[in-house]
Amino acid sequence: MALPDRLSRAVSTTAFRVAAVTVTVYLLCAGVVVGMLLWQTNRILTSQVLGTLRSEAELLKVEAQSGDRAALVRAIETRSRPGGPGLYYLGDASGTKLAGNLSRIPPEIAGSAAGGVFRYAPDVANSSSEQLGVAIPVDVGGGTVLIVGRDVEEQRRFAGEMGTVYFLGLGFLTLGGLLAGFLVSRVALKRIETINVAARSIMDGDMSRRIAITGAGDEFDTLAGNLNAMLERIEALMSGLREVSDNIAHDLKTPLSRLRNSAEAALRDARGSEAYREGLEHTIEEADELIKTFNGLLLIARLEAGALEKSAERFDVGRVVRDVAELYEPVAEERGMTLIVEVGEDPQLTGNRQLVVQAVANLIENAIKYSKTAAAAGAAADATITIGLRDMDKVVEIAVTDRGPGVAPEDRERVLKRFVRLEKSRTEPGTGLGLSLVQAVARLHGGSVRLEDNRPGLRVVVTLPKRGDDR
């Protein structure tokens, strides 16, 4: 990229515009301050000069009132040394100059009782330029005209130099502010370009690409962290979508094939209407299982895309756990198992009551099913299933433990995905959506699901925030 293009992009950034506006406002404020400083400096210098003139005028006025004009003339001549700062003019009533280093009465203050600023030509050799002075008239009586003044060329030069320094300072501040704005915009543009490069790479199909974090802990790192978390979530959803597509094709192909084969076998059966009836009943059973699978998929999809606030309510989660356990007690007893409910206090939870009921029911169903599977396989399994509830500070933990085959550590993350069934033979009925639904419910509430070893068996712990969605 050419330098002019980079300069144009840096200047057009929001960071540079903000810096430029900030510098402009700062310069306006600094200009006001500088103006006030210059005005105050000039006022102080003028006050000092006028104070000196008034003091000297009082002394000369006393000299004149003594009645000795010759003494006054000598005093003026003494003070009117060449090249000195003092400016004097002494004349009689006829306008004749008696003493002083001013050749005439300055026209700027002629007839003025307060005096003022004037320009004069100094009585110095090789000096042709006019200089600035300040003078006041002194009333000494007898028609005598006395002007007492001071050369203020040095003060004027000092004030001018101060003004130059102030304005040069403003100029350097302007250039420094604009340069700082340019550098800030370049840094911001570089960080944003890093994000854009990663975004373009992701749009081209590299879903594993992430935005680099510098470790500075600034707002760009915060933004990059949030975007990376979002990208991880998107990647997980995309991977889940691919897995769901593959699993649907794999898991639904078998029941659909059985459905077709059952219908075809019924048509070929020589028994006629009786065979047709059996075939239709079997078809309805298979169709119900397919509908159940699709309903599970739809529910999980809605949970992952839905909002909790619309259906949240305050309810007693301990009561929910006891009610679900009571519902499954007959099923467990029928299979020779015992349900133990360990619920102490009854904490209140803000969330969707029906979904929490569904999650607890799925966990108990899984525990019953796989405990039965372990017992049927001849494993030394204890036919006890424990449903526990712990009331913690800001969360509640619902734990369901069994003494079945358990889940290997390397499979615990995978088993939470849709259609994942660790039973290779698939002899037990099921769709592999139970734990996926539990995880979706937990995620909707801002919670989590973890699988632990019960030695033997499995312990599934669902953590739910008491205030609902705390994400």
What integer pLDDT is reported at residue 255 of this predicted model?
Answer: 72
Neighbours of 337 (CB within 10 A): 22
Question: 318 and 258, same structural domain?
Answer: no
What integer pLDDT is reported at residue 419 of this predicted model?
Answer: 61
pLDDT-derived band of residue 401, with 50, 70 and 90 as boundaries? Answer: very high
- How many residues would you count in the chain? 471
Quote the number of domains for the chain: 3
Q: Is residue 104 part of a domain?
A: yes
- The helix/strand/coil state of 143 is coil
Q: Is residue 403 part of a domain?
A: yes
Q: Is residue 340 part of a domain?
A: yes
Q: Is residue 24 part of a domain?
A: no
**What single string gives the DSSP state of each residue in 370-401?**
HHHHHHHTT-----EEEEEEEE-SSEEEEEEE
Tell me: pLDDT of 470 over 50: no
What integer pLDDT is reported at residue 297 of this predicted model?
Answer: 64
pLDDT-derived band of residue 427, with 50, 70 and 90 as boundaries? Answer: very low
3-state SS of 420-463? CCCCCCCCCCCCCCHHHHHHHHHHHCCCEEEEEECCCCEEEEEE
Question: 437 and 315, same structural domain?
Answer: yes
pLDDT-derived band of residue 418, with 50, 70 and 90 as boundaries? Answer: low
What integer pLDDT is reported at residue 400 of this predicted model?
Answer: 92
Question: 416 and 296, same structural domain?
Answer: no
Q: For residues 11 and 182, is the Cβ–Cβ distance under 8 A? A: yes
Tell me: pLDDT of 136 over 80: yes
pTM of the predicted structure, to 2 decimals: 0.48
Question: 322 and 459, same structural domain?
Answer: yes
Question: 403 and 282, same structural domain?
Answer: no
Backbone phi and psi for residue 310, each to the nearest 5 degrees, phi listed first: -70, -25
Q: What angle do CA 352, 355, 356 make, to 5 degrees?
A: 85
Q: In the predicted model, what is the mean pLDDT of residues 354-359? A: 87
Which of 263, 289, 305 marks a domain boundary?
Answer: 305
What integer pLDDT is reported at residue 425 of this predicted model?
Answer: 40
- What percent of the chain has pLDDT above 70? 82
Q: Which of the residue ranges 151-160, 306-315, 432-441 would you say has the lowest mean pLDDT?
A: 306-315
What integer pLDDT is reported at residue 307 of this predicted model?
Answer: 55
Question: 265 and 321, same structural domain?
Answer: no
Question: 395 and 297, same structural domain?
Answer: no
Question: 315 and 444, same structural domain?
Answer: yes
Of 411, 429, 309, 438, which is closest to residue 372 (Cα–Cα)? 429
Please tell me which residue, 64 or 250, carries the higher pLDDT value. 64
Question: 391 and 294, same structural domain?
Answer: no
Burial class (CB in 10 A: 0-12, 13-18, 19+), 10: buried
Please tell me which residue, 18 or 105, carries the higher pLDDT value. 105
Q: Is residue 58 part of a domain?
A: no
Q: Which of the residue ranges 67-76, 159-168, 173-182, 417-426 would you say has the lowest mean pLDDT?
A: 417-426
The contacts found for 257-264 with CB under 8 angstroms, 24 or more apart, are 258/286, 259/283, 259/286, 259/287, 259/290, 262/286
Question: 315 and 445, same structural domain?
Answer: yes
Question: 423 and 289, same structural domain?
Answer: no
- The helix/strand/coil state of 330 is helix
Q: What is the DSSP letter of 183?
A: H
pLDDT-derived band of residue 208, with 50, 70 and 90 as boundaries? Answer: confident
Q: Is residue 76 part of a domain?
A: yes
Residue 276 lies in domain? 252-305
Which of 137, 154, 171 marks a domain boundary?
Answer: 154
Q: Is residue 182 part of a domain?
A: no
Tell me: pLDDT of 318 over 80: yes
- The strands making up 97-99's β-sheet, listed across from edge to edge, are 97-99, 86-91, 145-151, 131-139, 116-120
Question: 339 and 428, same structural domain?
Answer: yes
pLDDT-derived band of residue 41, with 50, 70 and 90 as boundaries? Answer: confident
Q: Which two tokens stand for residue 129?
A: 């330029």
Which of 120, 154, 188 marks a domain boundary?
Answer: 154
**CATH number of the domain to which 142 belongs:** 3.30.450.20
Q: Is residue 353 part of a domain?
A: yes
Please tell me which residue, 368 or 163, carries the higher pLDDT value. 368
**CATH number of the domain to which 414 belongs:** 3.30.565.10
